[in-house]
Amino acid sequence: MSPRPQQAVTLGELLAQPMKVDLNHLCVASDARAVRGVVLVSDIDEITSIEPDTIIVLSADVARGSWMVSAALRYAWERNACALIVPDRALNPSVTQLAERFQISLFTTAAEITLAAIEVATAVGMARAQLVSSLHRLTSRVGSSEDITEVLEFASVWLQGAPVELESSGAVVRSAMGTTNRPDVPNNIHTLPSRVSVRVGRGTKSHGLLVANVPASLRDHAASVLEICASKLRTLIAEEQFHALQQSLPPISIAALAESNARLPQHPGDPGWPAWPSGTSFVTLCLLSDHADRYGAALHHLWLAAFRDWPLVRAADGWLAFVPVDDTDLGALVAKVHGRLAEIHLLNLQVGVSLEHYGDAEVRPAIREAWLAARVAEAGKPHAIVSYDEIPARFLPRLLPPSFAEETLHSLYPALASDEHRDELIHLYTCYAAHLGSATDTAAHLGIHRNTVKLRLERLADLGVPVSDPTETLGIHMLFAALPGGTTGKSPGVRLAPPA
């Protein structure tokens, strides 16, 4: 196993250290250039074996003239060295121009060259020690944090304001960008952003990554910063998941929907049992995805970041959320969900929102309404979120199960549902639609007068059924035909009472 390379410092950090020798700057290619070590060269051939990001110090014998320094610069460029230090003597201007072309910093010193090499090596060690001390301070700050976004902000500050993102299944679910006093520097190969990432979860199957885009010279430092933050994030994410599970226990009791064998506590009144809004108004959100298993982690992190107090429950083909609306404007709520989920449109979610309900007894119909609305929603399009009362009737034929038709009738046409002649009216409309809107053919089929057909159609319109809208005809026909007795005029069984 090869030894781990020394952590790099930047050339700017090195030059900021106090030294007993003076370095004259003939060319400073980039303060952001990474520095890993210092090598004193007494034979020019030794340059061919040095490691990248090294400062080369030429002895007086090697740097005997401009042509030798030029040759050393070429070798240094081939080995990706970062700087060259030579004894103080007159150099041809072409040497400086060559250093600028190769983007290698060039310094001269009047001090004895061995002493200069020792001082520079000591300065590298001091700069590296300051980095270690900075990482210790970061560990202390992160260790006392209880917020995921705050941890990301710490990481960004320690990386000079670079953006830091928490990714899950390829989607960015949290991000932060701290402030920095670092001056703007011209772009070059050493300052262009480079992606650095570490795993947040345990094991190779983890889909969570902590990512930063930093200059190439900061890659080592960024990896150390991200590792420190990732360790804390594992704990915070686990706590969030546990909190979400605890808050979701009451909804999970609908085991058939969650496809779970969850066993609830024997005594729900015990301390710690999460409060379920049994005495409040609420709406249910249903989130569907064709890749629920793949994108579950990403959605979980995003949901907790935006809607921490609303439990999210895993269901058979998606997720359910129960949202109290006593003090919440429903339109603003839907807008907030739409705006937040739009940021990760790649998850292709279909979101349905139920009507407003009250109490535990209405949980099941609320779920069914949200599920139906989600089936209508178009993933990845402007209508990715649909409220139940926005479902166009023309979508009902492919979505409405017969067992749900009665409840849908009460929701869409409550006046008709409570009318004592509803069965006759519904049966007439199904016949009318089947005969392509011919009152004469409908009357002949039912054995009634043509004027009776017109009167019943007018009665349907008075009860809120848009019988004159051709775009709604097919949907209404299929809804009425799905009702018990819709095609016979007789409704068997017990009729559901309209919602209060």
Residue that is written with structure tokens 């129960």 in the block: 322
State how many domains the chain has.
4
Q: Does one domain contain both 320 and 436?
A: no
pTM: 0.52
Q: Is the pLDDT of residue 497 over 70?
A: no
388: number of Cβ within 10 Å? 25
Q: How far apart are CA 106 and CA 92, in angstroms?
A: 13
Q: How far apart are CA 200 and CA 152, in angstroms?
A: 12
Q: Does one domain contain both 105 and 213?
A: no
Q: How far apart are CA 100 and CA 70, in angstroms?
A: 12
Q: How confident is the model at residue 472, as a pLDDT? A: 82
8 Å CB contact between 280 and 360: no
Q: Does one domain contain both 100 and 223?
A: no
- Rounded to 5 degrees, φ, ψ at 205 are -90, 0
pLDDT tens for each residue of 57-103: 999 888 888 888 999 999 999 999 999 999 988 788 899 999 999 99
Q: Does one domain contain both 348 and 433?
A: no
Between residues 293 and 497, which one has the greater pLDDT?
293
Residue that is written with structure tokens 């952590």 in the block: 7
3-state helix, strand, coil in the chain (%, to 5): 45, 15, 35
When the pLDDT of each residue in the chain is averaged and rounded to a whole number, the result is 77
pLDDT tens for each residue of 329-357: 666 766 776 666 655 555 677 888 888 88
Q: Which two tokens stand for residue 428?
A: 């007439």
Q: Does one domain contain both 83 and 205?
A: no
Domain assignment present for residue 112? The answer is yes
Domain assignment present for residue 397? The answer is no
Q: What is the mean pLDDT of residues 307-321?
A: 74
Q: Is the pLDDT of residue 152 over 70?
A: yes
Q: How far apart are CA 426 and CA 417, in angstroms?
A: 10
Q: How confident is the model at residue 256, as a pLDDT? A: 39
Quick one: which of 300, 151, 292, 294 has its CA closest to 238?
300
Residue 162: which pLDDT band, with cuts at 50, 70 and 90?
Answer: confident
Q: Does one domain contain both 175 and 235?
A: yes
Domain assignment present for residue 494? The answer is no
Domain final residue pick, 338, 370, 391: 391
The winner for highest mean pLDDT among 165-179, 209-223, 292-306 is: 209-223
Q: Does one domain contain both 444 and 409?
A: yes
Q: How far apart are CA 453 and CA 438, in angstroms?
A: 10
Q: Which amino acid is at 341?
A: L
Q: Does one domain contain both 236 and 255?
A: no
Q: Pinpoint the alpha helices (H) of 26-112.
A: 66-78, 93-102
Q: Does one domain contain both 89 and 166?
A: no
Domain assignment present for residue 396? The answer is no
Q: Is the pLDDT of residue 50 over 90?
A: no
To the nearest 10 degrees (0 to 180), the angle between helices 330-342 and 292-306 is: 120
Domain of residue 76, residue span: 9-126
Q: Provide DSSP, 309-364.
A: TS-EEE-SSEEEEEEE-TTS-HHHHHHHHHHHHHTTGGG--EEEEPPPEESGGGHH
Backbone φ/ψ region at 27: left (φ over 0), alpha (ψ -120 to 50), beta: beta
Quick one: which of 74, 68, 62 has its CA closest to 101?
74
Q: What is the mean pLDDT of residues 345-372?
A: 78
Least confident of 137-141, 283-287, 473-477: 473-477
CATH number of the domain at 467, please. Answer: 1.10.10.2840
Q: What is the mean pLDDT of residues 353-377?
A: 81
Residues 6+ apart with CB under 8 A from 262: 249, 252, 253, 255
Q: Which amino acid is at 398?
A: R
Domain assignment present for residue 497? The answer is no
Between residues 397 and 112, which one has the greater pLDDT?
112
CATH number of the domain at 28, please. Answer: 3.40.1390.20
Domain assignment present for residue 26? The answer is yes
Least confident of 395-399, 424-428, 456-460: 395-399
Task: Name beta bridge partners: 39.
Answer: 56
Residues 6+ apart with CB under 8 A from 265: 249, 273
Q: How confident is the model at residue 459, as a pLDDT? A: 92
Q: How far apart are CA 418 and CA 407, in angstroms?
A: 12
CATH number of the domain at 198, please. Answer: 3.30.450.30
Q: Does one domain contain both 84 and 207?
A: no
Sign of the torsion formed by the C-alpha atoms of 309, 310, 312 and 313: positive
Q: What is the mean pLDDT of residues 171-181?
A: 69
Element (H, E) at 288: strand 281-288
Q: How far apart are CA 458 and CA 451, in angstroms?
A: 11
Between residues 247 and 25, which one has the greater pLDDT?
25
